[in-house]
């Protein structure tokens, strides 16, 4: 959701300077933004593509020690009363999304494997991929670790091959949603063949109860454990909102409707996008409509 004059909504990049590791930086590598030819109508979807070399380097970069260090480097205060440690069947589909941000700092978001034609798509927030209204500021060294829990990576690490976002996010900070396409794992297995995929719904009516999940950088978890809010959605400021106090690191985490802690399955209807204040009580997420569908379709076709 874009900043508006009627609310103090703040992006889930952490307080102050964001989720950064002081003194840690990765030289920014070149990424390619796929654009339509000058003679064609503007493509509503912007695609950030990482080369095979960049993807290999990303897998090498995110060592166990580096992952441990980035979590220890951030403390966004105590976990709020609405966010509880997730209890239930292990969620293979939800994991931490590690990357180096446009400022050169190690950080993370949350992402979710979803059902897709190529069995390789995951959903997150657009601000986990690139800064809004700033086409040149993109993130690098991006990998997805599904099922992450307290240092354990039971399903391996998947390098992000492409990241699709709405063109409106790239240019105007509108529609904070992204769909990732990831490589097969080291054994050649595709993402959802390994962890399964959540269903995803577009143009779904608001008003139902959802579970919002994410790897918040609040203590004591500090990104090491999946947290969950449960609330009923309503429309506000052109987006949907639920009561929730997850914060930085939970960005991009799924909103799952009809969610069962027994099966670990639900239907993704949005992702964590922004908060109402520095001391959050509300979580905002985009209403997944035609634009989000185009972003998702682009990712599942790569």
pLDDT digit string, tens, across residues 116-175: 999 999 999 999 999 999 988 999 999 999 999 999 999 999 999 999 999 999 999 999
The strand pair at 254-260 and 209-214 is best described as antiparallel
Is 65 inside a domain boundary?
A: yes
For residue 49, is it within any domain? Answer: yes
Q: Which pLDDT band, with edges at 50, 70 and 90, does 40 fall under?
A: low
Q: Which domain holds residue 19?
A: 10-300
Q: Is residue 3 part of a domain?
A: no
Q: In what order do the strands lie in the sheet with 227-232?
A: 84-85, 227-232, 209-214, 254-260, 265-271, 199-200
The total number of structural domains in the chain stands at 1
Q: CB of 271 within 8 A of CB of 285?
A: yes
Number of residues assigned to the chain: 302
Quick check: is 2 in a domain? no
> If you average pLDDT over residues 243-267, what whole number do you get?
97
Tell me, yes or no, whether 4 lies in a domain.
no
Q: Which residue has the higher pLDDT, 279 or 300?
A: 300
The CATH number given to whatever domain includes residue 109 is 2.40.10.10
pTM of the model: 0.88
- Whole-number pLDDT of residue 12: 54
Whether residue 5 is contained in a domain is answered as no
In a domain, 271, yes or no: yes
Q: In this structure, is residue 182 part of a structural domain?
A: yes
- Establish whether the linkage from the previous residue to 220 is cis, with ω within 30° of 0: yes
């Amino acid at each position: 959701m874009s900043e508006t004059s009627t609310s103090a909504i703040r992006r889930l990049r952490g307080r102050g300077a964001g989720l950064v590791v002081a003194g840690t930086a990765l030289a920014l590598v070149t990424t390619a933004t796929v654009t339509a030819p000058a003679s064609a109508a503007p493509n509503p979807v912007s695609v950030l593509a990482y080369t095979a070399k960049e993807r290999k380097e990303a897998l090498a970069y995110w060592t166990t020690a580096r992952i441990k260090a980035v979590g220890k480097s951030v403390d966004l205060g105590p976990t709020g009363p609405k966010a509880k440690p997730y209890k239930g069947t292990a969620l293979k589909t939800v994991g931490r999304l590690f990357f180096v941000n446009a400022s050169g700092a190690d950080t993370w978001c949350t992402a979710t494997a979803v059902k897709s034609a190529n069995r390789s798509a995951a959903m997150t927030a657009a601000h986990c991929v690139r800064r809004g209204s700033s086409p040149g500021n993109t993130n690098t060294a991006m990998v997805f670790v599904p099922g992450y829990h307290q240092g354990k990576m039971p399903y391996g690490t998947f390098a992000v091959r492409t990241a699709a976002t709405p063109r409106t996010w790239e240019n105007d900070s509108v529609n904070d949603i992204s769909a990732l396409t990831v490589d097969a794992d080291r054994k050649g297995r595709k993402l959802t063949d390994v962890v399964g995929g959540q269903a995803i719904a577009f143009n779904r009516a608001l008003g139902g109860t959802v579970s919002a999940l994410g790897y918040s950088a609040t203590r004591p978890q500090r990104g090491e454990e999946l947290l969950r809010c449960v609330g009923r959605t309503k429309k506000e400021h052109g987006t949907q909102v639920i009561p929730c106090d997850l914060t930085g690191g939970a960005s991009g985490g799924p909103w799952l409707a009809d969610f069962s802690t027994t099966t670990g399955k639900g239907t993704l209807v949005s992702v964590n996008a922004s908060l109402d204040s520095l001391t959050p009580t509300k979580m905002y997420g985009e209403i997944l409509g035609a634009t989000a569908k185009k972003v998702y379709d682009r990712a599942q076709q790569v």
